[in-house]
């Protein structure tokens, strides 16, 4: 998966978490069924979306049946290392964007608006050269 796609999925996870939090605060369950069942449904919905997005970002790993533990560790590290690095970079970028807005006292934008702007910058290629 390309870096920009991973970064956008990270923003999707954070945006979904914001939506779920807002639903909890307003007494909605976040399932869209009109029932206000409480936080358990919201947590399940968040976990489902986050799990789906995370699974999309992680590569498949094939391990030979006769692989030694050291070979398995090497295969997993080789496959997951770049994906995890990109995901951590995405969460760090999002956190930094939110922190800068917070620290500068911005009250004219919401966290979701900041994340949306970040997604547009990623789409425009602003962060293509970053590691």
As a dihedral over the C-alpha atoms of residue 62, residue 67, residue 73, residue 76, rounded to 10 degrees, the angle is 0
Is residue 97 a contact partner of residue 121, using CB atoms and an 8 Å limit?
A: no
Per-residue pLDDT of the chain (131 residues; tens, 9 = 90+): 788 888 889 998 898 888 878 888 887 654 444 444 455 555 666 567 778 888 888 898 999 999 999 999 999 999 999 989 999 999 999 999 999 999 999 999 999 999 999 999 998 988 876 54
Specify the pTM: 0.72
């Amino acid at each position: 998966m390309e870096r920009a796609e991973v970064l956008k999925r990270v923003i999707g996870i954070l945006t979904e978490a914001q939506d779920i939090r807002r639903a909890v605060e307003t007494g909605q369950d976040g399932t869209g069924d009109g029932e206000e069942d409480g936080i358990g449904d919201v947590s399940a919905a968040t976990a489902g979306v986050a799990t789906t997005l995370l699974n999309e970002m992680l590569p498949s790993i094939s391990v030979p049946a006769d692989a030694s533990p050291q070979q398995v560790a090497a295969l997993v590290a080789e496959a997951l290392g770049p994906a995890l690095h990109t995901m951590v970079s995405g969460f760090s970028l999002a956190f930094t964007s939110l922190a800068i807005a917070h620290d500068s006292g911005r009250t004219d934008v919401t966290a979701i608006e900041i994340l949306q702007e970040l997604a547009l910058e990623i789409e425009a290629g602003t962060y293509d050269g970053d590691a």
